Amino acid sequence: KMQIGFSKIGFPKQGALVLGVLEDSKMLAKTQEVDRNSGGMITAAIKNSNFSGKSHQILSVFTPERRIVLYGLGKGENIDELWSEEAGGRIFSSLETSGEKTVTVIFENHSRTKKNIDKRAAHLAYGALLRSYKFDKYKTKDKLGKDTTLKRINVAVEQHPQAKKIFSELVAVADGIFFARDLVSEPPNVLYPDSFAKKLTALRKLGLKVEVLGEKEMSKLGMGALLGVGQGSSRESKLVVMRWNGGKRGEKPIAFVGKGVCFDTGGISLKPASGMEDMKWDMGGAATVSGLMMALAGRKANTNAVGVVGLVENMPDGNAQRPGDVVTSMSGQTIEIINTDAEGRLVLADALWYTNRRFKPKFMIDLATLTGAMMVALGQVNCGYFTNNDGLAKEMERAARDVGEGIWRMPLGVEYNKMMNSDIADMKNAGPRFAGSVTAACFLERFVENCPWSHFDIAGMAWSSKDSPTVPKGGTGWGVRTLNQLVKSSYEA
């Protein structure tokens, strides 16, 4: 694991140095100092390259003593927390296998960039930390990161005690993100409902209250929709309830609900073989909820929150649910199963109803890798979300923007809703091909009563096939940051 430290501005004897340069090759004061001390080597290097200090441009310069990394600051005005995170990620990845063991980032104040320097320094470290994540527990040779030489990042900034304090809270969020990424990346023979639930009961050590309901308990509650999905699996379905009571006693909680399909074969409506291995991450919604609860507990958030995850495996089997079956959900509403591959909404139907009836939360937000149609609509850039509450939409838009995760509101409406009516039951679980993500959301809406609610279809977000500055490819932990920010900015005393 990467070591990260903060100190006052100075030049340590060893390791690489990162120094800032504004656009048009304007060196910051410390950069100029190093340039002078090296007899103008930085000036010469800039002259002989295409480096000009453009935002996020990087150039390594070698003096006889050490590597100097010039980092482009652009005009300087865009340097906020998110910019700094990206810089941290880029600095990490550019030095990761460079041979350097430590790097000191000189985080210098400048007239164009002076606000919140402690915060920005903390976020630079956070960006580097987020990018340094690896999932290599199943590699016995060729470990990911076996060529990693960079072990330590030191951020040198005048306000280092403040930066350190801000960073310690960000570490709790990073821990939650890493937990979510780990869960998403685990193979489905290792992570199934029971083993997932065990990883969640281990969170009790952080002060979370964790309850695990098995099939017997869920059956008593009448959760026929969720149980129908797990019916063909030899693994027992579970519902896990996590509670963080960091707020006022007796104050209504906020609630997060996750789809935890540990493997989605499609069931009897079997999926094609190609790419089916991806369906190990069909529990991404549950992973995000779990990571969020870990983050809230880790940073001792001043709020009451519940996280509920429905954990099942969707398998074809002699005992599996059939297309044509009619199941009764906990709400009493009946559902005709048209396609056993539209299973996530069945799990969420009971999990949402249960959460609303038991906790009467201020709001419910569910996350689910629910539809392929969501990826068709928005790709892997924005997460589509649906909500019955404009106030909640506003708060979420702001939270997502603050942490740099993209979200885009999608519509609900009666015209879509009635596309889910069934001829023989209250509703069917799959409608026509068109507007597949919208009709899925309308299906969920039938289980939230009057509670302010939002649904995030994270099908395009839970997994990434390429690196980005702060998210290495693989499980992303998408949503932990936005939801944590939502809590922090609007639901903490």
User: Does residue 271 have an active-site annotation?
Assistant: yes
CB of 282 to ligand BES, least distance (A): 4
CB of 343 to Zn ion, least distance (A): 5
Cα angle at 167 between 293 and 464, to 5 degrees?
Answer: 60
Closer of 74 and 316 to Mn ion (Cβ): 316
CB of 23 to Mn ion, least distance (A): 49
**251 φ, ψ to 5°?**
-75, 135
Q: Which entry of 67, 271, 362, 398 is annotated as an active-site residue?
A: 271
CB of 275 to ligand BES, least distance (A): 8
With CB under 6 A as the contact rule, the residue among 282, 395, 405, 445 that binds ligand BES is 282
Closer of 180 and 283 to Zn ion (Cβ): 283
Closer of 247 and 436 to ligand BES (Cβ): 436
With CB under 6 A as the contact rule, the residue among 308, 459, 483, 487 that binds ligand BES is 459
Q: Which range in 191-199, 201-209, 277-285, 401-409 contacts Zn ion by CB under 5 A?
A: 277-285
Closer of 57 and 233 to ligand BES (Cβ): 233
**233 φ, ψ to 5°?**
-100, 145
For residues 334-393, which are near Zn ion according to CB under 5 A? 344
Q: Which range in 10-18, 98-106, 212-220, 253-261 contacts Zn ion by CB under 5 A?
A: 253-261
Q: Which entry of 30, 66, 259, 345 is annotated as an active-site residue?
A: 345
CB of 332 to Zn ion, least distance (A): 25
Q: Which range in 137-145, 241-249, 259-267, 419-427 contacts Zn ion by CB under 5 A?
A: 259-267
Closer of 186 and 343 to Mn ion (Cβ): 343
Q: Which partner from the list Zn ion, ligand BES, Mn ion, none does 346 bind, CB cut-off 5 to 8 Å by kind?
A: none
For residues 422-451, which are near ligand BES according to CB under 6 A? 430, 436
With CB under 6 A as the contact rule, the residue among 315, 373, 403, 451 that binds ligand BES is 373
User: Does residue 345 have an active-site annotation?
Assistant: yes
For residues 212-271, which are near ligand BES according to CB under 6 A? 264
Decide if residue 313 touches Zn ion (CB under 5 A): no
Closer of 265 and 470 to Mn ion (Cβ): 265
Which tokens in the block code for residue 110? 């400048």
Closer of 22 and 286 to ligand BES (Cβ): 286
Nearest residue by C-beta to Mn ion?
A: 341
CB of 419 to ligand BES, least distance (A): 11
Contacting residues toward Zn ion, per CB under 5 A? 261, 264, 282, 344
Q: Which active-site residues does the annotation give?
A: 271, 345
Contacting residues toward ligand BES, per CB under 6 A? 264, 282, 339, 341-344, 369-373, 430, 436, 459
